[in-house]
A and B are shown apart, each in its own frame.
Chain A
Amino acid sequence: MGVRIQTKDFDAGAEIAALRGNNPKIGAVASFIGVCRDANEGTAVTKMTLEHYPGMTEKALEKIVAEAKARWDVMEVLVVHRVGELKPTDQIVLVVVTGAHRGEAFAACEFIMDYLKTRAPFWKKEETPQGARWVEARASDDEAAQRWEPPKSSAA
């Protein structure tokens, strides 16, 4: 298990191999890679800068990973998130989850990304032909995170 914030690129294959090691109990590896697009909200994006809140970022990610491990029967989790200047086609984030079976690994991986998008203190600023702009948070990301909330009691 690990959480890393870094400016340099990552090699997903090497990261997965390191996370798996020689563990013969692993039957499933689920992964997600987030990538920088060349457009957002109908406007071309030439570059973006990712900022974070050092200290809190690591704590927030570790808490999300701990919650995923408590909720699903998975083995190892790795989260790597880049900061600094990125351009279209660059990799931004990597999440890898290993487990005995795919269902739990898929669910934990998706949960981690949904919570990362709404709870980890990262902010994107895009360069567009019209100038720089901060990316606005999306309601769809909040909705994606909310589906993992435990069902509310109907008793009021």
Chain B
Amino acid sequence: MKIKVLYLASLREQLGKSGEDLEIPAATSTVAGLRALLMARGGAWQAALAQGRALRVAVNQEMAQPATPVKPGDEIAFFPPVTGG
């Protein structure tokens, strides 16, 4: 399925990329699955997305959890904990 992935703030700098359109296996049906798929790219991906790194994920601009489903056409954003205000 086709999805759109965004990388924001420090994560964008660590990955050298602000986002990408991806074709992922239908079996990658959750946020945790997508994170594992991206980590498997190795290098900066493995390091920046590793478990234990403080990371937030939004699906279609709503805060999500590891078990949140990923569906065709979704916009999934990875970013560090927020620091506004």
Interface residues of A (CB under 8 A from B): 34, 50-53, 55-56, 59-60, 81, 92-93, 113, 116-125, 134-137
Contacts and interface: CB of A to CB of B under 8 A. Distances in A.
A123 B82 contact: yes
B85 A119 contact: no
Contacts, number: 73
Contact of A134 (B9, B62, B77, B84): B9
B71 to A, nearest CB: 17
Given A51-B9, A53-B58, A123 B83 contact: yes
Contacts of B9: 51, 123, 125, 134
Query: Which interface residue of B58, B82, B84 has the most chain A CB atoms within 10 A?
Result: B84
Contacts of A81: 84-85
18 contacts: A34-B85, A50-B84, A51-B9, A53-B58, A53-B77, A59-B61, A92-B85, A93-B85, A113-B85, A116-B84, A116-B85, A117-B83, A117-B85, A119-B63, A120-B85, A121-B58, A121-B84, A122-B83
A137 B61 contact: no
A56 B82 contact: no
B47 to A, nearest CB: 16
Interface of B, helix, strand, loop or mixed by DSSP = loop
Given A59-B61, A137-B54, A53 B81 contact: no
Contacts of B10: 123, 125, 134
Nearest to A118: B82
Contacts of A59: 61-62
Interface in B65-85: 77, 79-85
Contacts of A34: 85
Contacts of A116: 84-85
A155 to B, nearest CB: 23
B84 A93 contact: yes
